[in-house]
Structure formats: structure tokens, C-alpha cells
Amino acid sequence: MPLIPIDWLASHVEIPEDLTAAQLAADLVKVGLEEEEIHQPDVSGPIVVGKVLTLVKEPQKNGKLINYCRVDVGAHNDAPGEGKEPVDFPSRGIICGAHNFVEGDYVVVSLPGAVLPGNFAIAARKTYGHISDGMICSARELGLGEDHDGIIVLAHDDDEAEKIGLPGVGEDVLAYLGLATETLEINVTPDRGYCFSMRGVAREYSHSTGAKFTDPGLLENFNSEFLPANNKGFEVRVADENPIHGKPGADRFVTRIVRGVDPNAQSPKWMQDRLTAAGMRPISLSVDATNYVMLDLGQPLHAYDLAKVVEPLVVRRAHTGEKLTTLDGVVRSLHDEDLIIADSHGAVGARPVGLAGVMGGSETEIGPETTDILIEAAHFDPVSIARMARRHRLPSEASKRFERGVDPTIAPLAAQMVAEILVDFGGGTIDEDSFDLNTVPEIEPIDFAVSEVQRLTGLELPRAEVIRILQDIGCTVQDKGEVLSVTPAPWRPDLVGSAHFVEEIARLVGYGEIASVLPTPAGGAGLTRQQRQQRDIVRALAEQGWMQVLSYPFVSESTFDKQLIPKLDQRREAIVLANPLQEESPYMRTSVLDSLLETAKMNVARSNPAVAIFESSIVTRPHGLVPAETPHPGQRPTDVQLAALAQAMPAQPHHIGGVATPIAAQATSGFSAVEWDWRDALNAVMVIVETLGAEVTFANIDRPPLHPGRGAQASVNGIVIGFAGELAPKVCKAFDLPARSIAFEVDIDILLKTVADQPRNILPVSSFPAAKEDIALVVDEDLPAGEVKEAIIDAAGALLEEVRLFDVYTGDQIPNRKKSLAFALRLRGTDHTLTAEEAASVRKRIIKRTGKKFGAQLRG
């Protein structure tokens, strides 16, 4: 977020001489610009002006040539004959490896006790046979720039030192270097992009305090004669054949040429100080000039080496397969939606030379021999720039401004301002011819009823006050009687309706002026039936020992592989995010287990082996999607657009899923560990279904990620609603989970729809005791236990209150290809106490029915 140097702000708005960063923050927050941080200086301690008295070059055995200097640091000098290396005149001895200075030069000296950027503490130390009692500093060591080859030479003699107002020898030099002041960093919301400039922040400070504001973006405030374009300069064309939302990628593009610039010229100290205070390192005159104007006016600019570009420039979309090496040295494969600048090397618009509004290309960058410079100041489509910057993961200072909206009227002024800086400090000349491609549409006025202010905020303001505030924020206002005709300022693309004007008025009047009145809430029906049911399910699972979590909803393709999901399975048909938060997890999950398995893995890896977690959330199924055009973000979609968007939305069913390790809860004092197996996964599904008053049946299923022989499909009224069971060994291994971990998942939307019209079966409460029976039946090993359970229920009749499978056994005493299913029965009469004969009769009916239907035999 932008840093606001107070002295730079003062060039556009009147401020008190003693204004602090804290007070500036307090003033700006009144108009909605929040304080992000107040940055203290990165350097501290004794950093003073020094004068080199003697310089002795001393070759070293390693081939390096160092300088042993005696430096006058005023009151910090060692007295003659004293100090760590005594000499016969007051000074300090310092070792320096730079060679761009001589005796008599004024330099920056960090004395022992000083701290430089990076928390680098200065201390006296023995090196190269001497004790270096301080350090002569370079620009990079002080955080003032990238130059590290030589030290900072403040002045070459006494006359120059006096002329530039240099502090005296031994006096603090931090203030002179612009390193002594604190700087405010503000937080700018997406609708306030104009505050990414000193111009915008100065305007807001004026709104807050009433201080006089001088707009640097107006021609009447320009320091020299403005040179309008004659369109005979370096030509630009726009050939956007694939505009987003029908809006061309560029509607303004200004070019201006400066020739004969000294390639070795440096930007002035005051400019370097301001750039440094604003968080940018001074680099070169051409780069510093474009950065300075961008920070000052909010208009991003770019400078080309004129000798390396071929006229005309063309703004177009990239072609599939094109590549561009950007200024950061990265070779980027271009997307056909990327908006690029191309020159005419080989053919018109053939060679990409920059990502428009993001970053230039290396082939046309300014180099150490560049003397002729082409300046670009353009206005690009915010959506195009935002998408491209995210696609290439290249958020630049330029893209931050373009994607929030830049004033399209400021481009010519910004280009001339850069040109004049190059001329003033680089000795060049400005071409009389320039080019300005301008297709910026007129801003349509908006009718605004003053009564809206009171209706929406309760503020009663005079009509004249409303007009004054709108004019203060840059709007043009015409009073048409019943309504005001308001034309928003060109730097405020966020103002598109009456509500926005009311918001601005309330912001500048002060939200504290709005009376605190509690609204009367409309009578509501509370939670919907579906919401109540979902809460009941969540509460029921928690009561069973499951812990609710909220997991990360995006997954990697390897998640599907680790679950052994087949390649053609619909669960692999996941939506891929165009701009994922994590590159390795670009898919939207199609199952809650996709995320829960990763969460369980993380818990086990972090020494939490007892896991029993569940999640109630949505998944995304992209089947049968119909693409729809994205409406413009600044306008309300039409009914047709909304209908198309609804068709384009993927299905997002609500699922509940869970994962547990065999030890669901560790042993604690007085309590043994809680051990779970596949039956507890089935029980979780039973709890979910029974909470809704329905009954669930299970059938064997071979469905990854479950174990082929220990997985069950859950159905209600013949409709499949989910699955449960033990995780396959390979799945457990892939997710680093203990063997025999379990999982379940239920499609709540299908379940609720299935039981929606089903009356809940409420059993009468009997005051008579229950009779308990256990029965073990030997059946074929591939017979689903659920089918046996259904047969038991049918045979037992009305006396059966509950049946529960509590054991499955294969082994000794059980014939080959057979298994034993043990069920616990609870019998109860509603009007009498059951007799032993009645319980025995139920048992006989069960044995007879299961024997006839499945060939079941009573286990001895």
C-alpha cells in the first residue's frame, strides 16, 4: 500500500509545519483512508558528515586494493595521539574498499553504534591490518538506491558543501539524506484507486482538514507551457480484436520523444529522497522520472529506448504461442487474452515489447548507452490489466493503479512532466511532434435527487452544501430544479449512481454525524426447515464424538490419485481455478473427503493421531455447464444475464463427510482410549438418517476410497444417499493414516429431498421392560448384512424395537466362504411385559425366515 512522505504531500496541500505521521493518519482516517503502519527510519545512531583528510592505497595479498583513510568527523574525532590508531591530527581511521573519492571529499560516515537497514550494526573492527573505527557509506548501504560500487560523495570541496547547504563536519546527516522522518502507510480500498498518488491523498487531506489544495493535474497549475499533441509523433494503433465485455483494451495512448539525454545523468537528490521515502529505490534518471510522476499524479508510465522500437506501436491481444521476456528476466508464455504492446519489427504489430500496464519487455528497455527515449502514458482497461497481472502472477506498481482505475485525462500532462524532468536533469530536448490516440468516451451525467441523502442516511443537508461537496470531490454539477445533473470526476470510475454520491457525502460530512438509531427488524420466520435439520444432524454427530472442522476447499489432482479414483470417474471432473490461491491446489473439490483426508493427514503428521473429524459443507459438480458472459462489474446485470449466470453456475450440493482413525480419542486419566472401526462409520450415517426420522439400509459396495470388502452403500427409501466404511489400505498409506481408518459421506440435499414428504415415525414410549436377545447367523460371505437385517425386521414384527449388527466373524468354526453375523435384538411390548415364550417365538421366526431366504444357519 502507498507510503505518504509528508514533505511531498506538502507540495500539493497546505499542512502544518509540525505535522506528524500520527496526526496525518488521524486526519486521513476521517475520510476513510485507514492507517496501515507508521514506518520508522531504517537507520539510527551516529551517522554524520565526514571529510576525508588522508587516503592511503594499500594492496593486499589477495589482490584487493583497499584505502586506509583518516576522516574528520568533528566532535567524534580522536584527539591527536589518542584513539585506536593514534595520529598527530584529530580524525578517525576507517578502511574503505571503494575508489570513487579522493582527499578533501565530503562523505557519509556511520560511527560505531549506528544501525543500518537490515539491522546491520556498526562497530569498530580490525581488518586488513588496521582498526576501522566506522564505515564510509554507499547509497545501497543506507537504503537510498542500488549503487554499491562507490560511496556517497556529498561534496568535493568546501565551496560546494556550503553551496548545497550540507551540514557541518561531524553533524547528523540523516535529515539531509531524508532518512530521519517517519512515513505513513495507508490502506486504499479498491474503489479509491486515485489515492495511490500524492495528488489523490492531498485532495483527501484537504477534504478532512479544509486545507488549501492545489491540483497538480490541472493545466492551470502546470509549471510550464503545456504542449498539446499534434499527432505527428511516434504513431500508436489499437487493434483489439477480442475486447473483454466489448471494451477495447486501450482508449488513450500518448507518446512523446526526448532526444540527447545524458545516459550518465542522475536524478536530483530531492527526487531520490522522495522516491526513497515512498518506498522506491532510485535507479536511473529515466526510471526515476517515470516512477516519480506515477507516484505524484497516479499515471503509470513506461520509457523505451527509441533506437530499439519500430514505429508504429500496436495495442492488441496476444497470439497463442507468443512469448515475451519481461524486464524481470522471465520468459513468459502469453495467453490470447493478454493485452500487449507490440512494435512493428518485421511487420506492423508483429513483435511483443510489453505487457500493457504491467511490465515492459527487455528487448526495448533503456540501457547504459541510451540517449533517445520514447515515453508512453496510456489508459488501459482495468479488467484486462487485473486479469493479466494475476494470470502471470506479476502485480506491479502500474497494474495496481490501472486495475483500480486511472484518470484518463492526465496522460498527456504526465508524459510532458516526465519529458521535462529528462530535459532539466539529463540535458535532452523534447520533440515538437507527439502523438495522442484518444477514444475515451464522454462521461454521462447522472440525475441525483438531493432528497436521497436524507432517505439513505438521515442527514438533513442544505442543497448548497450537497452541491459543494460533490464539486469538492471533482464532480461537475448542474442544478436542474428537481434533481441535480452530476458528472463524476474522471478519476472516480466508482461513482455510477445516486447511492455512490450519498456515500461520498456521508463520508465527507462524517459518519459520526449520522444519528445512532437501531432499526426495527422485520418479523422473520427464523431458520428454514432445512437449516434446522442440518443443525440437528451436526449436533447429533458431535454428540457421537465427532469433531466438526472447516477444511480447505481446493485440492490437487494427486488427491484423486491417492483415493484410487478411476480416471473416468465423475469425481475427477472438477472445476479448475484460473487463478488458484495455491498453485499446487487448483481444483474445486467434488467430495468433502477430498479435503478431510488431507486435514486428517495433517493432524496425524503433527502428532495428533486420534482423529474423528467431520465437515458439513458444499462440493462442486461441473456437469452440464453452459458458459455465460461476465457482466460489467459497475452495472446491475439484466434479468437475461442473471438467468444465463444461473445456468452457468455449477451444481453445489451440500454434503456431510467424516474421517476417523482407529483410535478416535486417546486415553486420559480415568478413561480408556476410544477405538472405532468400520461399523462406527456406518453408525454415523445411521445417526444422520435417524435424526431426520428415516431408516437407512446398507449394501456392499466396491467404491474407492473404501476397502472393497468393508465398504457399504447407504440408501433411504431405495435412493442412494451416501457411503461409509473402512478406507482401503493403499489410501491409508497414501495419506499417511493408520491402517483401518474409516470414512463416510452423505449427500444431504438428496437425503432431505428423499425424506421431505415422509411423515416422521414416532414410536410410543412403553412403560414395560425390554427383553434382549442376541442371535448369530452363518450366511454366505458375500451376502450384505443389510439384507439380513431387513429380513430380521420383517420376521420379528411389532415386538422388535431395535436390531443392531455388533459382530462379523470369519475364522475357526466357520465354514469356508461363510461368515457369522451377530445381531443384538431389543424386544418390548407396548401393553404388557413380554414372556419368555413370546421372545422365543420371535427368535424362531427370525431363524426360519433367514434360513428360507438366505440359507442361514444358527451359529452354535
Q: Read off the CATH number of the domain in which 853 is found.
A: 3.30.70.380
pLDDT-above-70 percentage for the chain: 98
662, part of any domain: yes
Tally of CB atoms within 10 A around 398 = 26
Rounded CA separation 22/39 (Å): 10
Outline where 580-623 has alpha helix (H): 592-605
430, part of any domain: yes
Are 497 and 637 found together in one domain?
A: no
Does residue 623 surpass a pLDDT of 80? no
Give the dihedral of Cα atoms 401, 402, 404, 410; nearest 10 deg: 80
Binding residues for Mg(2+), as ranges, are 494, 503-504
Q: Of how many residues is the chain composed? A: 860
Spatial neighbors of 303 by CB under 8 A, at least 6 apart, are 286, 287, 289, 290, 366, 373, 374, 375, 376, 418
Are 608 and 694 found together in one domain?
A: yes
| Lowest mean pLDDT across 85-99, 231-245, 584-598, 620-634 | 620-634
Task: With cut-offs at 50, 70 and 90, classify the pLDDT of residue 40.
Answer: confident
Mean pLDDT confidence for 188-210: 93
What are the pLDDT digits (tens) for 241-298?
Answer: 888 878 899 999 999 999 999 999 989 988 988 998 888 888 899 999 999 999 999 9
Are 136 and 49 contacting, i.e. CB atoms less than 8 angstroms apart?
A: no
pLDDT at 146: 66
- Burial of 501 from C-beta contacts in 10 A (0-12 / 13-18 / 19+): buried
Are 253 and 345 found together in one domain?
A: yes
pLDDT at 45: 83
Are 721 and 689 contacting, i.e. CB atoms less than 8 angstroms apart?
A: yes
Task: With cut-offs at 50, 70 and 90, classify the pLDDT of residue 804.
Answer: confident
Are 305 and 287 found together in one domain?
A: yes
Residue bearing cell 499534434 = 230
Are 88 and 62 found together in one domain?
A: yes
DSSP-based three-state secondary structure for 246: coil
Mean pLDDT confidence for 620-629: 79
Are 660 and 747 found together in one domain?
A: yes
656, part of any domain: yes
pLDDT at 141: 87
What are the pLDDT digits (tens) for 141-184?
Answer: 887 766 667 899 999 999 999 888 899 999 998 888 878 778 89
Print the SS3 string covering 111-168. Answer: CCCCEECCCEECCCEEECCEEECCEECECHHHCCCCCCCCECEEECCHHHHHHCCCCC
pLDDT at 709: 82
Mean pLDDT confidence for 698-706: 91
**Domain total of the chain:** 6
- CATH code of the domain covering residue 474: 3.30.56.10
Are 492 and 617 found together in one domain?
A: no
pLDDT at 85: 86
| Residue ending a domain, choose from 411, 438, 465 | 438
762, part of any domain: no
Mean pLDDT confidence for 757-780: 83
Mean pLDDT confidence for 56-62: 89
Are 16 and 76 found together in one domain?
A: no
Mean pLDDT confidence for 739-761: 88
Chain mean position to CA 730: 36
Rounded CA separation 150/140 (Å): 10
Are 29 and 21 contacting, i.e. CB atoms less than 8 angstroms apart?
A: no
Task: With cut-offs at 50, 70 and 90, classify the pLDDT of residue 634.
Answer: low
Q: Which three cell numbers stand for residue 35?
A: 492507517
pLDDT at 118: 82
Outline where 174-284 has alpha helix (H): 174-177, 198-209, 269-277
Averaged pLDDT of the chain: 91
- CATH code of the domain covering residue 575: 3.30.930.10
Return the higher-pLDDT residue of 39 and 775: 775
520, part of any domain: no
Outline where 285-330 has alpha helix (H): 285-297
| Residue ending a domain, choose from 755, 788, 803 | 755
822, part of any domain: yes
Rounded CA separation 543/564 (Å): 32
DSSP-derived pairing of the beta strands 236-239 and 313-317? parallel
pLDDT at 147: 66
Residue bearing cell 497494474 = 399
- Burial of 829 from C-beta contacts in 10 A (0-12 / 13-18 / 19+): middle
pLDDT at 760: 66
Rounded CA separation 103/57 (Å): 12
Does residue 68 surpass a pLDDT of 70? yes
Does residue 522 surpass a pLDDT of 80? no
pLDDT at 148: 64
Are 172 and 105 contacting, i.e. CB atoms less than 8 angstroms apart?
A: no
421, part of any domain: yes
pLDDT at 322: 95
- CATH code of the domain covering residue 378: 3.50.40.10
Chain mean position to CA 860: 66
| Residue ending a domain, choose from 708, 727, 755 | 755
760, part of any domain: no
Task: With cut-offs at 50, 70 and 90, classify the pLDDT of residue 763.
Answer: low
Rounded CA separation 125/116 (Å): 16
pLDDT at 233: 93
Backbone angles phi, psi at 125, to 5 degrees: -150, 150
Are 413 and 321 found together in one domain?
A: yes
Return the higher-pLDDT residue of 223 and 493: 493
Are 689 and 776 found together in one domain?
A: no
Residue type, 646: A
pLDDT at 762: 67
Task: With cut-offs at 50, 70 and 90, classify the pLDDT of residue 785.
Answer: confident
Are 694 and 662 contacting, i.e. CB atoms less than 8 angstroms apart?
A: no
| C-beta pairs of 518-522 under 8 Å, 24+ apart in sequence | none
Task: With cut-offs at 50, 70 and 90, classify the pLDDT of residue 812.
Answer: confident
Question: Which strand (E) or helix (H) includes residue 464?
Answer: helix 463-472
pLDDT at 227: 84
* Residue numbers of the domain that contains 840: 771-858
**DSSP-assigned letter for residue 437:** E
What are the pLDDT digits (tens) for 376-413?
Answer: 999 999 999 999 999 998 999 999 999 999 999 999 99
pLDDT at 647: 84
DSSP notation for 47-66: EEEEEEEEEEEEE-TTS-EE
pLDDT at 519: 73
Are 726 and 820 found together in one domain?
A: no
Binding residues, as ranges, are 494, 503-504
Does residue 439 surpass a pLDDT of 90? yes
Q: Has this prediction a pTM greater than 0.85?
A: no
Are 672 and 797 found together in one domain?
A: no
